[in-house]
A and B are shown apart, each in its own frame.
Chain A
Amino acid sequence: MALFDPKIQNQLRDILKTMKDEVRIIFFTQEIECPMCRETGLFVDEIASLSDKLSVKKYNFVLDKEIAEKYGVDKIPAIVLLDKNEKDYGVKFYGLPGGYDINSFLGAIIEISGKREELPEDILSRIKKIDKDIHIQVFVGLGCPHCPGAVAVAHRLAMENDRIKGDMIDAANFVHLSQKYSVTGVPKIIFNDKSEFTGAQPLTAFLDIIENLQ
């Protein structure tokens, strides 16, 4: 059975029509010991079937270890989005971006396709000035309406500065990781394992934290 009913398929088709250039979906999976991998695989296939501008490349997390390392993928299911030149911006989704997070997934696809709303000049210059490696992990719940906003901010930062990488992580799917970071509320955002906050915050709040990271 298809994951998307015909009505949602049509809506998705219309949304994906607004893409500018091609986007490549890289998907890391494994057949055993990954309960969500199969469904996430179906998800990327179905999405990709709805636009000529989308293509999927699948890798086995164990057999294609070197490729996983190249993209910095350390758990599965994992989705990495690349632009038309196969440039990796550090935009990742760990787990199936369903529920409300279908919106952050589509948003990232459209932005990577080259269609981005311009950021104010002062904000953009703050982002460009960041000259240290920043890893932002956004723990989400798929029933959380405020989560896609946090994911979108992390990913947008990653797109604007090569030193920044942003992950969406489905907290319910990565239980051990959630425990490690004491995630008991979402969205929870972790910066380089050093700073964190819980709840939806504007882009400037992300920047304030990043600029203060040692």
Chain B
Amino acid sequence: MEFNLSAVSFVSEKNFTPIETGKVYDVLIIGGGPAGLTAAVYCMRKGVDTAIIIKSIGGQVAETSSVENYLGYKYINGVELVDKFKEQVIQFSIGYEEGQGVSLIEDGAVKNIILEDGRTVQSRTLIIASGKSWKKLGIPGEKKLTGHGVAYCTTCDAPLFKEKKVVIVGGGNSGVEAAIDLAGIASGVTIIQLLDELTADQILLDKLGSFGNVEMIFNSRVTEIKGDDRVEEVTVENIGTGTVSDVKTDGIFIEIGLDPNSGFAKGVVETNSSGEIIVDSRCATNRPGIFAAGDVTSVPFKQIIIAGGEGAKAALSACEYILKKS
């Protein structure tokens, strides 16, 4: 039995204060993953008036079972690492809000940040570090049947498909990892891959090969998910031949990568074709006073240590901006 204990949430001395709507912060950080939390520590150490708005603490790290490439820890569980990050942030009297998303930002000399619950927070500078979330297929049936057989979180939902048939969309690392998790639980696993081969790391492919209940459908995509109140079948189209067939299944896990959480900044800052916020080497966006860091940005390679470094850089750039303005 494993225990993913978030010890810090219970015991740490909490110096942070609730976020205030009636004042103008120097720096407002959106996001509580490695980029946002690192930025918070840097800003507080610089002594600027800072607030952080966190939708889900740790972001993707909190959903990672093991981290083995963040220096200082040969092995650490994702929740534990997030706990350590948070512990370092809440020693400061930072303005802090957890469990709240941002719906809109408005640019200006003072930036308005409109929260999902309708409150408006104001700040001279912004650091957008809102990360990424699971990419959706955007096909008929997907939204309606989410939670009714359509799944995005394998560690959450795999145990519910014991001795059932499942389809996995995506043949990269996350798809093959999901297949490995599910092959030991489900009766049959079918991977549907757009390309003509799986693109996962060899070590994962070797592991996948040890299961006898995994099938692959290549050069194909899912075009519809069917079922009344739960997933019954999916429509699969071969992109080479155009042939369409229905595959009976109890569930479909969508593992086609991640989308940047940049929707609330749309039209304010410039993004690339994948929706990532374009930043320069100082983490500046095209708008003065708005910086961005981590997975939500165009910086290549999405890694915890890279996001942390970018968060530090964004914080220092924001502090420099405030200093120059005042």
User: CA A149 – CA B7 in complex, angstroms?
Assistant: 15
Contact A185 B151 (CB under 8 A): yes
Whether B148 pairs with A184 at a CB distance below 8 angstroms is: yes
User: For the complex, is B108 an interface residue (Cβ under 8 Å from A)?
Assistant: no
**Which B residues touch A103, using CB under 8 A?**
4-6, 9
> At the interface, yes or no: A102 with Cβ under 8 Å from chain B?
yes
Q: Kindly report which residue of chain A lies nearest to residue B154, judged by CB atoms.
A: A143
| Shortest Cβ distance from residue A206 to the other chain B in the assembled complex, whole angstroms | 13
Structural contact, B156 and A147, CB atoms closer than 8 A = yes
CB contacts (< 8 Å) of B10 on chain A: these are 14-15, 18, 106-107, 110
Interface check B206, CB cutoff 8 A: no
The reply to whether B4 and A18 form a contact with Cβ atoms under 8 Å apart is: no
Flag if A14 contacts B147 (CB, 8 Å).
Answer: no
**Cβ-neighbour of B155 out of A110, A143, A149 (below 8 A):** A143
Of the residues B146, B160, B230, B250, contact of A186 by C-beta under 8 Å: B160
Q: 1/0 contact trace for B140-153 toward A, CB 8 Å?
A: 00000011111101
Q: Mark A192-214, 1 if CB is under 8 A from B, else 0.
A: 00000111001010000000000
Least CB separation from B157: chain A residue: A185
Nearest A residue to B149 via CB reads: A184
Please determine whether B5 and A198 come into contact, CB atoms closer than 8 angstroms: no
A141 touches B5 (CB 8 A): no
Q: In the complex where A144-B156, A199-B147 touch, is A18 in contact with B11 (Cβ < 8 A)?
A: yes
Q: Which residues of B contact A178 (CB under 8 A)?
A: 160
Using Cβ atoms and an 8 Å threshold, which residues of chain B touch A171? 159-160
Let me know if A186 and B5 touch, CB within 8 A. Answer: no
Residues of A within 8 Å of B4, CB to CB, are 99-100, 102-103, 145
Q: A-facing mask of B202-244, CB < 8 A → 1, else 0? A: 0000000000000000000000000001110000000000000
Which interface class (under 10, 10 to 19, 20 to 34, 35 or more) fits B? 35 or more
Residue in A closest to B155 when the chains form the complex, CB atoms: A143
Q: A110-B10, A184-B148, A185-B148 are in contact. Are A102 and B160 (CB under 8 A)?
A: no
Contact with A along B83-107 (1 / 0, CB 8 A): 0000000000000000100000000
Counting CB contacts under 8 A, is B301 at the interface? no
Stretch binding the partner chain, chosen from A3-11, A21-29, A63-71, A77-85: A3-11
A175 to B63 CA separation, bound complex (whole angstroms): 24
Whether B229 pairs with A182 at a CB distance below 8 angstroms is: yes
Which chain A residues lie closer than 8 Å to B161 at the CB level? 184
A92 vs chain B, min Cβ distance (A): 20
Q: Which residue of B lies closest to A115 (CB)?
A: B10
A159 within 8 A of partner (CB): no
Contact A184 B157 (CB under 8 A): yes
Q: Are B5 and A12 in contact (CB under 8 A)?
A: yes
| B62 within 8 A of partner (CB) | yes
CB-CB < 8 A to A14: which residues of B?
7, 10-11
Contact of B156 among A17, A143, A197 (CB under 8 A): A143
How many Å lie between the Cα of A76 and that of B196 in the bound state? 49
A11-B7, A185-B148, A198-B146 known; A100+B79 contact, CB < 8 A: yes
Contacting pair A102 B5 (CB below 8 A): yes
The proximity string for A residues 159-199 relative to B, scoring 1 for CB distances below 8 Å and 0 otherwise, is 00000000000011001001000111110100000000111
Write out the residue numbers on chain B whose beta carbons fall within 8 Å of the beta carbon of A15: 7, 10-11
**List of B residues within 8 angstroms of A185 by Cβ:** 146-151, 156-157, 160
Q: Which of B1, B99, B117, B251 touches A184 (beta carbons < 8 Å)? A: B251
- Contact string, A87-111, partner B, CB cutoff 8 A, digits 1/0? 0000000001011101100110010
Q: Across the interface, which residues of A come within 8 angstroms of B162, CB to CB?
A: 172, 175
B2 at interface by CB-CB < 8 Å = yes
Minimum distance in angstroms from A88 CB to a CB of chain B: 24
Shortest C-beta distance, B134 to chain A (Å), equals 12
Chain A residues with CB under 8 Å of B73's CB are none
Structural contact, A102 and B156, CB atoms closer than 8 A: no
B24: shortest Cβ distance to chain A, in Å? 23
For window 1-48 of chain A, which residues contact chain B by CB distance below 8 Å?
3-4, 8, 11-12, 14-15, 17-18, 39, 43
Interchain CA distance A142-B117 in the complex, whole Å: 29
Answer whether residue A58 sits at the interface, using C-beta atoms and an 8 A cutoff: no
- Contact mask for chain A residues 126-158; partner B; CB cutoff 8 A; 1 contact, 0 none: 000000000000000111111101000000000
- Report the 3 A-B pairs with minimum CB-CB distance, sorted nearest first: A198-B147, A185-B147, A144-B156
27 residue pairs A–B, Cβ–Cβ below 8 Å? A3-B1, A4-B3, A8-B3, A11-B5, A14-B11, A43-B1, A98-B1, A99-B1, A99-B3, A100-B4, A102-B3, A103-B6, A110-B10, A143-B156, A147-B156, A171-B160, A182-B229, A184-B148, A184-B160, A184-B230, A184-B231, A185-B147, A185-B148, A185-B151, A185-B156, A186-B160, A198-B147
Q: Which residues of B contact A (CB under 8 A)?
A: 1-7, 9-11, 56, 62-63, 79, 99, 117, 146-151, 153, 155-162, 229-231, 250-251
Q: A14-B10, A146-B56 are in contact. List 5 more A-B contacts (CB 8 A).
A: A18-B11, A43-B1, A106-B10, A144-B153, A144-B156
